Structure 1
Amino acid sequence: MSNAPKTVLCIHDLPGFGRAGLSVVIPVLSALGMQAVALPTAVLSSHTGGLGTPAKLSNPAYGPAALEHYKRLGLRFDCIYSGYLADPGQARLVEQAIDLWPDALAVVDPVMGDHGRMYRGLAPEMVPALYTLCSRASLILPNATEASLLLGDPMPGVTGESALSLAASQARRLTRICPQVLITGVPAGRGIACVGADRSGGEETVRTPMVPKTFHGTGDIFGAVMVGRLLQGNVVQAAAQAAAVFVADCLKATPDEADERLGVWLENVLPRLMQAGS
């Protein structure tokens, strides 16, 4: 049916507790009118950011079997959206999905690190694996640390206009890997910026005021809003602006004394996505 919801294959981890991964991606996409099909890379009792060692359910055979099942069912995906991947094999799983649905928009958030270092528990082999995956994507959403890892650059240690200039240069260089790049979370004075580039030579910078809070899962929320707005027909710059504003709204709705490990209080903010409409 022509008015059927757009369908997104979401390849992320699923934490039971702590707002991150599929636990935020699915409600955000649903609020934006999308059908989210979850393909968990692992099922965790909580996310891995400071809540102790989670119980983990992981079956390497599940992902390929799920993709084959979806193919047999004749499913059509408008977008393939991947986030945190625990090992190089999971990066190859996303590539398999791209092979099976080559017409889908492929959005890759190459989750590897932040604040100048790789996340604990990720092997160095993740860098070349995600480099290869990014080369298959339509759009990649690295932060400044991940952009440096993909390019083999020294970790960024600059802020303000210098950080924006560096991100713009890195975004242009990353278009050699992927046709559309958006570097997220770039510090820009009293604000935060996303800096993008594409192979046609286009560049864009989206700035939003800085909300001085840091919570787990905001990158997943940003990416999900980006995907939903893109599928609604927005250009990258407009989708990024909408995603940045929504994340800022979630941060503002979360009390200062809230535990940052548990993520932002997005539940009461989700209706704003439906009100904004397509």
Structure 2
Amino acid sequence: MSNAPKTVLCIHDLPGFGRAGLSVIVPVLSALGAQAVAVPTAVLSTHTGGLGTPAKLANPGYGPAALEHYRRLGLRFDCIYSGYLADASQAKLVEQAMDLWPDALTVVDPVMGDHGRMYRGLAPEMVPAMYTLCSRASLILPNTTEAALLLGDPMPGVTGEAELHTAQAQAQRLTRICPRVLITGVAAGRGIACVGADRATGESLVRTPMVPKSFHGTGDIFGAVLVGRLLQGNVLPAAAQAAAVFVADCLKATPDEADERLGVWLESVLPQLMQNPE
């Protein structure tokens, strides 16, 4: 059916409480008219950012079995979108999906660290595994820390316009690995920038207002809106702008006194995605 919803295979973690991972990606994609098919890399009682040690449900055989089931069903995916991977072996799971659905748009958020350090619980072998995965993607969405890890650079310690210049250089160098790159969450004066580079056409820059607090899960919301808008036919800079605006609107809807560990209050803002289909 030509008018059937686009279908996205979402390979991310699923936290029960705390708006992050699949708990925000699935509703955002649904609001944008895409069918999200979730393959959890880990099922957690909460996300891992300051809410104590979560209960964890992990079955290493689930992911490959799920993909094989989808293959037997004859499913077709328009996009494969991956994020947090619990260990390096799960990069092979995403590559397996790429092999099964070679025509899909492949978007990899190489979740490995932030603020100049790797996330706790990730082993060093995650870096080469993620490098290999990124080399097979259509588009990657690292932050400056993850870009440095992929490039083998020292961890970033600069902020402001210096961070912007660093990100622009990182994005250009990363196009040697992946044809399209969008570095997210870059400090740029009084704003936040997304710095893009395209192996074929050059770079793009999207600036958004600086926000005083950093909430968990906003990167997942940004990525989901970006993917949804790309599937609607938007070019990358326009999709990135739409994603940044939606995250900013979620932040505006979240009270100043809200606990940033619990994520932004996106529930009241989701209807905007349905009201503005393109």
Q: Any unmatched runs of 5+ in structure 2?
A: none
| Partner in structure 1 of residue 161 of structure 2 | 161
Runs of 4+ in 1 over 3 A off after TM superposition: none
| Partner in structure 1 of residue 273 of structure 2 | 273
| Partner in structure 2 of residue 43 of structure 1 | 43
| Partner in structure 2 of residue 173 of structure 1 | 173
Residue 218 (structure 1) shift? 0.5
State how far apart, in whole Å, the 1-side matches of 2:164 and 2:263 are. 27
Question: SS at 1:24's partner residue?
Answer: helix
Q: Any unmatched runs of 5+ in structure 1?
A: none
Question: SS at 1:272's partner residue?
Answer: helix
| Partner in structure 2 of residue 18 of structure 1 | 18
| Partner in structure 2 of residue 100 of structure 1 | 100
Give a deviation string over 1:82-127, Cα, whole Å, max 9, x none.
0100101111100000000000000000000111111111111110
The 5-angstrom pairing of residues 1-278 of structure 1 reads 1-278=1-278
Give a deviation string over 1:232-276, Cα, whole Å, max 9, x none.
000000000000111111111111111111111000000111111
Tell me which moved more, 71-80 or 162-171: 162-171
State how far apart, in whole Å, the 2-side matches of 1:45 and 1:182 are. 30
Aligned letter for 1:193?
A: A
State how far apart, in whole Å, the 1-side matches of 2:155 and 2:44 are. 30
Scaled by the length of structure 1, the TM-score of the pair is 0.99
Aligned letter for 1:116?
A: G
Aligned letter for 1:258?
A: A
State how far apart, in whole Å, the 1-side matches of 2:240 and 2:221 are. 12
Question: SS at 1:48's partner residue?
Answer: coil
Q: Percent identity?
A: 86
Tell me which moved more, 162-171 or 109-118: 162-171
Aligned letter for 2:9?
A: L
Give a deviation string over 1:19-54, Cα, whole Å, max 9, x none.
000000000000000000000111111111111111
Question: SS at 2:45's partner residue?
Answer: strand
Count of aligned pairs: 278
State how far apart, in whole Å, the 2-side matches of 1:156 and 1:120 are. 18
Aligned letter for 2:15?
A: P
Tell me which moved more, 163-172 or 186-195: 163-172
Scaled by the length of structure 2, the TM-score of the pair is 0.99
Residue 201 (structure 1) shift? 4.0
Tell me which moved more, 123-132 or 159-168: 159-168
Question: SS at 1:197's partner residue?
Answer: strand
Give a deviation string over 1:60-95, Cα, whole Å, max 9, x none.
000000000000000000000001001011111000
Alpha-carbon RMSD across the aligned residues, in angstroms, is: 0.7
Give a deviation string over 1:132-172, Cα, whole Å, max 9, x none.
00001000000010000100111122223222211111101
Aligned letter for 2:264?
A: V
State how far apart, in whole Å, the 1-side matches of 2:53 and 2:190 are. 36
Give a deviation string over 1:182-226, Cα, whole Å, max 9, x none.
000000010000001011141100001111111110000000000
Question: SS at 1:11's partner residue?
Answer: strand
Question: SS at 2:77's partner residue?
Answer: coil
Aligned letter for 1:208?
A: T
